[in-house]
Structure 1
Amino acid sequence: MEKIMRIAAALLSACALALSAPVAAQAPAAAHHHAAHPALAEVLASPIRDGDRARDRWRNPAETLTFFGVEPGMTVVDFMPSGGWFSRILIPYLGAEGTYIGLNPNVGESGGPGFFQSMRNTADNFPGQAAGWVPQGGARVIGANIGSVPQELNGTVDRVMIMREIHNIRRFGWFHDLAVTLRAMLKDDGLVGVEQHRAPADAPASYVLGDNGYQREQDVIALFEAYGFELVARSNINANPADPAIWERGVWSLPPSFAGAPEGSEERARRAQIGESDRMTLLFRKRP
């Protein structure tokens, strides 16, 4: 009897482990590693990107957009488009049948540094700014701030892209409003693509609150899951194993900022050899 009890206990333990083990995320068809859309290569070679192309080796735009399943004709939200690096790709790539939405947080109307000032009144300011970046046209361009997104955009979005902004979203407390807004804007089968500077899994919590740029991958996944999104795929497209991902001045220690490494110094040369940050690339689906 004692032997039977031991076997039963072992079987119960094995079942419990099986139930608690994480299930491998299954990517939708759009997220599999297939060939990039033919139009994308032409867009990436455009002269309007001459000042951007040096960073392609670290940002891997063709592979990243293919992984996210972004295709011409879609409606895509680019959260915090900033200087327009991805705008200069997405606006011509989505084409005349597509819609590009530059979405910024609600930063209020009171003072503040240029970082915040540049994101105010996005609905009025962004379309003209984007026209300067992409003078040959392409997708319809809309600008909006969280809290003032036109109602007619709800349920129309195919893809959302959040590119290296999770640290800012966390340190400025924007995630709740952003997640609620994106859930409303996304179609039922819409996806959220995230690229973010990746901290080591065992990095201390104090290092990943936002001010250093790096985030632990497990924290980012948990944050989205808490707001009704499920991870459907992840990729190491933008990984850089040479980056230790723990720096006194955070991610800005690496190129292109080189914080704390003066021009011409050996340390700057060493960091140039490392390259840009190690990055996670994640894809989420909105749960019902």
Structure 2
Amino acid sequence: MRKAALFSAFLLAAAAAIPAALHAAPEAPAATAADPAMAAALADPRRDKDRVRDAFRHPAETLAFFRIKPGMTVADYMPSGGWYTRILVPYLGDKGTYIGLTAGTATANAETKARLQAFPTTFPGKAAGWTGAPEARIPAFTLDAVPAERKGTVDRVMIMREVHNMWPDNFLYNDLAAIRSLLKDDGLLGIEEHRAKADAPAAYTLGTMGYMREADVIALIEAHGFKLVAKSEINANPKDSANWPDGVWTLPPVLALKDKDRAKYEAIGESDRMTLLFAKRP
């Protein structure tokens, strides 16, 4: 707990130094069905099982806030089951590039290292099956083995609900450095993360309950070569008290308690989330 308190004090002090003007930065206009490319991507039959979560994850609005457009090169950190892959690959189109990224292996134990090293081989095939695009259009890399020619070529990187894993698992420092090297000079980093209350205990600094305090996340990312340029309440959920004994996994879609109080948690919905946009520091 002392370690958590020390981390908390450092992060909150760093967050206090963030200029107020950055917090007030205007949001990009939200995409709607009026964007035909987005409408087509969201309506794709391959997303039939995904669509139930659209009301909580607001994909069109979130991607618009990240200023993602067709034709861009977008890297998706830890894409897991491909929820955003199934949107981004068709949305970016033939002139765009979707890149799957996974954590670097330097700080991983033997079991995790083997899984991470398999990702560049296994992910393109999975993504091709999910999207109908050829494997050649879906490159994938561990962050410590990205080809040199890819560096400085990426328009956007997305980290969706993974900072709470990156920080305690000791991936954050190396992976953010690698992500920064991938981005173009005017590239942007979009982050969505489960949000603890601002006055949550210091233990929430460590992310072990799945939630993190917004000020801590901003301070962590800014300490690694980025600056906050905008924040959004697109993915906010005021019904979430963010203090569940079983962490964020108490809520949908995981529902860790199974049928116990299921109706209660389904009525709350998915977690309250911060949505943040960062630029590279010079």
User: Is 1:133 the counterpart of 2:130 in the alignment?
Assistant: yes
Q: Assess, with a 3 A threshold, how the Cα gap between structure 1 residues 21 and 217 changes in structure 2: closer, same or farther.
A: closer
Report the more deviating stretch, 192-201 or 129-138.
129-138
Structure 2 length-normalised TM: 0.87
Describe the superposition over 1:180-226 as per-residue Cα deviations: whole angstroms up to 9, x where unpaired: 10111100000000000000011111133122110000000001111
Report the more deviating stretch, 207-216 or 90-99.
207-216
2-structure distance, mates of 1:106, 1:222: 22
Describe the superposition over 1:42-81 as per-residue Cα deviations: whole angstroms up to 9, x where unpaired: 1100000001000111100000001101111100010000
Counterpart residue number, 1:46: 44
User: Is 1:170 the counterpart of 2:164 in the alignment?
Assistant: no
Query: Pairwise CA RMSD of aligned residues?
Result: 2.1
Amino acid at match of 2:278: F
2-structure distance, mates of 1:21, 1:127: 39
How far the C-alpha of 1:127 sits from its partner, in A, is 1.1
Q: Which secondary structure does the structure 2 equivalent of 1:120 belong to? A: helix
Counterpart residue number, 1:66: 64
Counterpart residue number, 2:8: none
Amino acid at match of 2:29: H
Counterpart residue number, 1:250: 247
Gaps of 5+ in 2: 1-16
1-structure distance, mates of 2:42, 2:212: 29
Does the CA contact (< 8 Å) of 1:238 and 1:278 recur in 2?
A: yes
The equivalent position to 1:101 in structure 2, one of 99, 102, 106, is: 99
2-structure distance, mates of 1:222, 1:55: 29
Q: Assess, with a 3 A threshold, how the Cα gap between structure 1 residues 44 and 137 changes in structure 2: closer, same or farther.
A: farther
Does the CA contact (< 8 Å) of 1:73 and 1:98 recur in 2?
A: yes
How far the C-alpha of 1:117 sits from its partner, in A, is 5.5
Counterpart residue number, 1:84: 82
Amino acid at match of 2:223: A
Describe the superposition over 1:69-97 as per-residue Cα deviations: whole angstroms up to 9, x where unpaired: 11111000100001101000011111111
How far the C-alpha of 1:257 sits from its partner, in A, is 1.5
Q: Which secondary structure does the structure 2 equivalent of 1:189 belong to? A: strand
Does the CA contact (< 8 Å) of 2:124 and 2:135 recur in 1?
A: no
Q: Assess, with a 3 A threshold, how the Cα gap between structure 1 residues 275 and 127 changes in structure 2: closer, same or farther.
A: same
How far the C-alpha of 1:258 sits from its partner, in A, is 1.5
1-structure distance, mates of 2:99, 2:274: 23
How far the C-alpha of 1:126 sits from its partner, in A, is 1.5
Q: Which secondary structure does the structure 1 equivalent of 2:141 belong to? A: strand
Higher alpha-carbon Rg:
1
Q: Assess, with a 3 A threshold, how the Cα gap between structure 1 residues 195 and 208 changes in structure 2: closer, same or farther.
A: same
Describe the superposition over 1:85-128 as per-residue Cα deviations: whole angstroms up to 9, x where unpaired: 10000111111111111000124786537xx7653322222211
How far the C-alpha of 1:137 sits from its partner, in A, is 5.0
2-structure distance, mates of 1:44, 1:35: 12
Q: What is the percent sequence identity of the aligned residues?
A: 55
How far the C-alpha of 1:21 sits from its partner, in A, is 8.4
Q: Which secondary structure does the structure 1 equivalent of 2:19 belong to? A: coil
Q: Which secondary structure does the structure 2 equivalent of 1:208 belong to? A: helix
2-structure distance, mates of 1:88, 1:137: 13
1-structure distance, mates of 2:186, 2:136: 21
Q: Which secondary structure does the structure 1 equivalent of 2:207 belong to? A: coil
Amino acid at match of 2:104: N
1-structure distance, mates of 2:133, 2:160: 24
Report the more deviating stretch, 128-137 or 67-76.
128-137
How far the C-alpha of 1:238 sits from its partner, in A, is 0.2
Q: Which has the higher contact order (CA 8 A, sep 6+)?
A: 2
User: Is 1:283 the counterpart of 2:277 in the alignment?
Assistant: yes
Count the aligned residue pairs: 262
2-structure distance, mates of 1:34, 1:216: 25
Matches within 5 A, 1:1-288: 22-25=19-22, 27=25, 31-36=27-32, 37-107=35-105, 111-112=110-111, 118-137=115-134, 140-260=137-257, 262-263=258-259, 265=260, 267-288=261-282
